[in-house]
């Protein structure tokens, strides 16, 4: 059973305190090949558990891509924890390229780091790399994007499928009985997070026959969202809403709406309902301005911190971890956009210093 962590405070102060599962629909979609019960990390490791200290340990940190505000916060929060414990972290930016990340993993394994903290581009294609690391007795910890198999030690991340479900419900409630087209601004096909968000969204939208989904494959990129949204408004005259798999693509959507003269704010007649994912500083500012309706918070700070905390605990002698720990999505809208605990607001405050 997958475990769910409720908040940053719970993760940092109570470590592996867990709440109830995230629902059968989400569980079915995760398709993890490994069991999700507690895992004994002492089996097959190279004696690290007996050394009792993370200080000086070398940790490789291959990331999906640092071209996004979310990934920058994930990286920063993980490195803050590593610095606290005196661990030496080397970051590898895959630039959202699964093949590049596989090559990076080969290079990482050759250097024999003490551990790998992995944010995967493709949770399935990365499995052989994970198993190759384990054959060299290098423990692999997952963070953020779901790993879909392999001998990883533990993973902490986000319920991407549920985020898609919640986005569909939000849009359906916002538009009411109106009939029309909903644009899906899709992330990279094959990227695990993008695939799960899309599946959750489309599965749930089947419950709302008054709304038709048109999917735009934008690969996480705002410029592609801009051009594809312009084309979509030419082809479909009844667009009432858009769901974006990240807040970044909504930047392109907003630019397209301005060019079309369709940039009505929340509450104004003709407004196009917009909900994204991540809760980035830019997305939160659009919510404040009434441009964007909502975002599904993906707590980058909690994930990065807890992922690296688990690495440190492993080196300090901890032998059991929950296999999979999920941080559930939560809605950010005008009612809570100024919450200082939101990672997007934390990042915005740091940038002002």
What confidence score (pLDDT) does residue 30 get? Answer: 43
Write the pLDDT tens digit of every residue in 38-78. 444 544 344 444 458 999 999 999 999 999 999 999 999 99
| Residue 140 pLDDT class (50, 70, 90 cuts) | very high
- Quote the tokens at residue 169: 């419900």
Residue 302 has pLDDT above 60, yes or no: yes
Q: Rounded mean pLDDT of the chain?
A: 89
Q: How many alpha carbons lie under 13 Å from residue 80 in its C-beta half-sphere?
A: 14
Which CATH number is associated with domain 3-158+299-328? Answer: 3.40.50.2300
| Residue 204 pLDDT class (50, 70, 90 cuts) | very high
Write the pLDDT tens digit of every residue in 19-45. 333 333 444 444 333 333 344 454 434
CB 212 within 8 A of CB 168: no
CB 153 within 8 A of CB 139: yes
| Residue 353 pLDDT class (50, 70, 90 cuts) | confident
| Residue 352 pLDDT class (50, 70, 90 cuts) | confident
Q: How many alpha carbons lie under 13 Å from residue 207 in its C-beta half-sphere?
A: 14
CB atoms under 10 Å from CB of 96, counted, come to 23
- The span from the CA of 171 to the CA of 274, in Å, is 8
Burial 36-71 (b: 16+ CB within 10 A, else e): beebebeeebeebbeeeebeebebbbbbbbbebbbb
- The span from the CA of 254 to the CA of 6, in Å, is 32
Helix (H, G, I), strand (E, B) or coil at 184: strand
What confidence score (pLDDT) does residue 46 get? Answer: 42
Write the pLDDT tens digit of every residue in 152-193. 999 999 999 999 999 999 999 999 999 999 999 999 999 999
Between helices 192-205 and 160-175, what is the axis angle to 10°? 40
Rounded to an integer, the average pLDDT of 299-308 is: 96
Assess whether the region 3-158+299-328 and the region 161-297 belong to the same CATH fold. yes
CB atoms under 10 Å from CB of 7, counted, come to 17
Single out the residue of 126, 143, 192, 164 nearest to residue 299, CA to CA. Answer: 143
Paired strand residues for 239: 181
Q: Where are the domains of the chain?
A: 3-158+299-328, 161-297
What confidence score (pLDDT) does residue 348 get? Answer: 95
Write the pLDDT tens digit of every residue in 221-254. 999 999 999 999 999 999 999 999 999 999 999 9
CATH superfamily assigned to domain 161-297: Response regulator (3.40.50.2300)
Longest C-alpha distance within the chain, in Å? 65
Write the pLDDT tens digit of every residue in 260-295. 999 999 999 999 999 999 999 999 999 999 999 999
| Residue 351 pLDDT class (50, 70, 90 cuts) | confident
- The span from the CA of 225 to the CA of 229, in Å, is 6
pTM: 0.83
Question: What contacts 239, CB < 8 A, 6 or more positions away?
Answer: 180, 181, 182, 183, 232, 233, 272
What confidence score (pLDDT) does residue 2 get? Answer: 40
């Amino acid at each position: 059973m997958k475990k769910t962590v409720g908040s940053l405070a719970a993760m940092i102060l109570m470590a592996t305190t867990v709440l109830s599962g995230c629902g059968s629909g989400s569980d079915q979609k995760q398709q993890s090949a490994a069991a999700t019960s507690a895992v004994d990390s002492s089996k097959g490791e190279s004696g690290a558990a007996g050394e009792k200290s993370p200080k000086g340990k070398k940790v490789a940190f291959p990331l999906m891509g640092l071209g996004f505000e979310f990934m920058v916060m994930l990286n920063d929060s993980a490195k803050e924890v590593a610095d606290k414990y005196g661990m030496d972290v080397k970051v590898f930016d895959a630039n959202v390229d699964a093949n590049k990340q596989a090559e990076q993993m080969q290079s990482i394994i050759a250097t024999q780091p003490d551990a790998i903290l992995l944010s995967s581009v493709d949770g399935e294609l990365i499995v052989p790399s994970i198993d190759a690391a384990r054959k060299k007795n290098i423990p692999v910890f997952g963070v953020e994007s779901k790993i879909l198999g392999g001998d990883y030690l533990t993973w902490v991340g986000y319920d991407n499928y549920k985020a898609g479900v919640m986005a569909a419900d939000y849009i359906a409630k916002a538009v009411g009985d109106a009939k029309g087209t909903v644009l899906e601004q899709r992330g990279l096909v094959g990227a695990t997070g993008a695939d799960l968000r899309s599946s959750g969204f489309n599965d749930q939208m089947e419950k709302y026959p008054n709304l038709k989904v048109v999917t735009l494959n934008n690969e996480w990129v705002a410029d592609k969202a801009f051009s594809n949204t312009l084309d979509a408004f030419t082809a479909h005259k009844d667009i009432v809403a858009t769901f974006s798999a990240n807040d970044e693509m909504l930047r392109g959507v907003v630019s397209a709406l301005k060019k079309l003269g369709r940039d009505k704010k929340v509450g104004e007649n003709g407004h196009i309902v917009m909900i994204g994912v991540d809760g980035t500083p830019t997305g939160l500012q659009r919510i404040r301005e009434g441009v964007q309706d909502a975002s599904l918070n993906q707590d980058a700070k909690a994930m990065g911190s807890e992922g690296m905390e688990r690495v440190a605990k492993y080196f300090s002698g901890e032998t059991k971890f929950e296999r999979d720990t999920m941080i559930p999505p939560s809605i950010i809208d005008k009612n809570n956009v100024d919450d200082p605990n939101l990672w997007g607001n934390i990042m915005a405050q740091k940038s002002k210093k």
